[in-house]
Amino acid sequence: MEHFGFPAETILIFLGVIAVSVYLDLFAHKHSTEITLGDAAKWSIFWITLAIAFYGYLWWRFDKKWADLYLTGYALEKALSVDNLIVFMAIFSSFSIKGILQHRILYYGIIGALVFRAIFVLIGSALFQASPFVGFIFAAFIFWSAVKMLQQSDEEEDIEDYSNHWSVKLTGKLMPIYTKLHLERFFVRDSQLFANGQTDLASVTRKGVLYATPAFLCLMAIETSDIAFAFDSVPAVISITQEPLLVYAAMIFAILGLRSLYFVLAALTRYLVHLEKAVIILLFFIGAKMAGQSLEHVTNGQFGFHIPHNWSLAIVLGMLAAGVIASFLFPKKENEK
């Protein structure tokens, strides 16, 4: 069976492009200014263009097959990220985080996501290669995610209070907390808050030398929710291709644009009312694809089925386009909001 492997040239280009792009993004937002919708839209277009350019490189340098597998994984990860960004909105609301501080928290959150995604991809790919039966477990994860999203879409959309999240409680046990925002800092020293050794006990959970601020608690909730999200997204992308480099590249290019996409989605979420339905349908499709491929592999081709990579790409892109178009053709009525 043909494998893409780990071409040194591709790894160097991938890492180089990511490093330069992250530096440019950081340099462009080094000043603490409010992120406008126009600025977020421009950066979203930049990240999408960069991802498509890498698709073109894979097609030109290797083969359309590998390029299509990467692009399918990228589109799927991008679609699944929409649900994760909605959770981020609820987290920011719980901690009353607004404006530029959201951008700063998302920056560090995405840095953590780059590391955790690498770990999850390596573990997931190794498990899939170790036994074909792992594919059935991944398919079950994907089906469970689809059912969970379907149940949530049928229920009343109550905003969850993440200020009592388990990660927040754990942080509170490990170190004292200053319950108010202090500039844009994640941590603040006792000497920076209180003069002459007098501590306002109403603003801290307990006396200490270093305090975590609500900004850090928000970051912890963001990171832990993203790790939980990886349990859904990693098996889904691995169901498209089991090539670790292509899986990781698809995820990273999708994740790097999440900060900009968040601010765009915050403005458009009330309009894209049918996109979540399209994502749910896609999850059922991806789960069936994974189960069919695993069954075919286990039975040596006697049962199961294999969906060509170009079909998968067309279905993923077509379903996402249908969700966006349906949202504008059939908007939700005011009394249903």
Residue, of 57 and 163, whose pLDDT is higher: 57
Q: What is the pTM of this model?
A: 0.76
Residue 193 located in a structural domain: no
In this structure, of 68-82, 139-153, 279-293, the range with the lowest mean pLDDT score is 139-153
Residue 242 has pLDDT above 80, yes or no: no
**Residue 298 covered by a domain:** yes
In a domain, 139, yes or no: yes
Residue 291 lies in a domain: yes
Give pLDDT tens digits for 201-219. Answer: 667 777 777 888 888 888 8
CA 58, distance to chain mean position in Å, is 23
Residue 163 lies in a domain: no
* Within a domain: 104: yes
% of the chain with per-residue pLDDT over 90? 3
Integer CA distances (angstroms), 212 to 175, 184, 215, in order: 7, 12, 8
Q: What count of residues does the chain have?
A: 337
| Domain extent for 332 | 8-157+232-336
Residue 187 backbone dihedrals phi, psi, to 5 degrees: -130, 155
Say how many domains are in the chain: 1
Q: Which amino acid is at 113?
A: A
State yes or no: pLDDT of 56 exceeds 90: yes
Residues 266-300: tens digit of each pLDDT: 666 666 777 778 878 888 888 887 788 778 777 77
* Inside any domain, residue 219: no
| Locus of tokens 């049928």 | 154
Residue 303 lies in a domain: yes
